[in-house]
Every structure is written in structure tokens, then in C-alpha cells.
Amino acid sequence: MEYETTGNDTLHGSTDLYYVRAAEGIPGRVRNLKLNKSQTSNHTNEYAVIPITWDKPAAPRGLIAGYKIRWKLNKSPFNIFSVRHCGKSYGIKVFSHNERYTVFVSAKTMAGYGDEKELTFEVGAPPGKPFQFSHLVLLSSLVQSRCEIWCSRLHLVVIYHIDNRCCNLRRNP
């Protein structure tokens, strides 16, 4: 970079060019991890697809390079699956019904992965119906205070609350 002074023009010269980069840190937890409305058309006879979304951490501490998503049955210490993903949504495939699942999502910078955010939900059949993934309803979520899940084939809406004491099933007009 060159510089000159105005006025008497007695000072002039050049400066060195420096690049400055702040060090990246471990990101904070992702925010607003939640289930989205389940689309029955995504289900097969073998598995159901449960869509989840999240927002980037409030404190990214650098450029977010991606996310790690893993999920498991609550009764098992082992992961069912773990993926690395760049977007802020993902479709979890669940293969077992009448089970409680836990999903973990963490953000990544060049410094590494941040703490995981956790979401727990149950999968089951509507009352009085034999279980088929095409009849899937989400029975509860321990993270959201209230949410509605639409099951289009049965025209049912499940409303669930964080305390798991209230789970209302109603017919949608």
C-alpha cells in the first residue's frame, strides 16, 4: 500500500501488507432443534422419515463448516446412524415402531464439534389402528412445549406437550 501526504509532499513511502485472521473456536449448541410436520408420503412399509430442523448456534465462534446428526433408540446405548451434513434440516429414518428415539445435533467449525443439542420423541400407531408406517403419528416430544403433527392419510393431528401428561388426538376436518 502506498501513501503520500498532502501539503508539502516531503513524506512518502509504502507499507507492508498483513493478513489478519481470528482463530476459530468450538461452536455453541445449535438452536431451535425441532420436529417438522411429518409427511406421510415419505414413509414406506419398512421405515418412516421424521424431518428435523435447527438453527445455527447463537455463538458460532467461526465459520460453521457443517453439522453432525446421530440418533438412537433410547433403550440402547448404541447409535442407529450418524451422518455429517451441511444443511440445517435432515430426515431421520426410523425403523422400529412404539419406540422412543433421541436425536443429537452438533455444529462444526475448523476447531471441532460443539456440544450436542438433544431431541427425544416417540413413534407409534394411532389408537385402535394396527401399526404401519403409513399410519405414523409422533406421540411425544420432550423438547417442544407444544406442537402439532399432521398425518394426512388418516386426517389426524397429534398435539403433545413437554410434560408428556397430555397427548390429544383429534380428527382434522
DSSP string, 1-41: -EEE-SSS---EEE-------PPP------EEEEEPPP-GG
Is 43 within a domain? Answer: yes
CATH of the domain at 43: 2.60.40.10
pLDDT at 60: 94
Is 127 within a domain? Answer: yes
Task: Report the domain count for the chain.
Answer: 1
Nearest to 125 by CA among 101, 92, 88, 99: 99
Is 26 within a domain? Answer: no
Is 42 within a domain? Answer: yes
Alpha-carbon distance of 143 to 132, in angstroms, equals 25
- Burial class of residue 30, CB neighbours in 10 A (0-12, 13-18, 19+): buried
pLDDT at 138: 52
Is 10 within a domain? Answer: no
DSSP string, 67-105: EEEEEEETT-SS-SEEEEESSSEEEEEE--SSEEEEEEE
pLDDT at 94: 82
Tell me how far CA of residue 127 lies from CA of 50, 158, 169, in angstroms: 20, 11, 9
pLDDT at 149: 41
pLDDT at 3: 54
Domain that holds residue 137: 31-171
Is 147 within a domain? Answer: yes
Alpha-carbon distance of 35 to 24, in angstroms, equals 30
pLDDT at 55: 96
pLDDT at 158: 40
The reported pTM is 0.64
pLDDT at 128: 62
pLDDT at 78: 82
CB atoms within 10 A of CB 95: 13
Alpha-carbon distance of 136 to 40, in angstroms, equals 8
Is 136 within a domain? Answer: yes
pLDDT at 53: 92
pLDDT at 117: 95
Is 23 within a domain? Answer: no
Low-confidence residues in the chain, pLDDT < 70: 1-14, 37-45, 125-173
Helix (H) or strand (E) holding 124: strand 117-124
133: amino acid identity, one letter: F
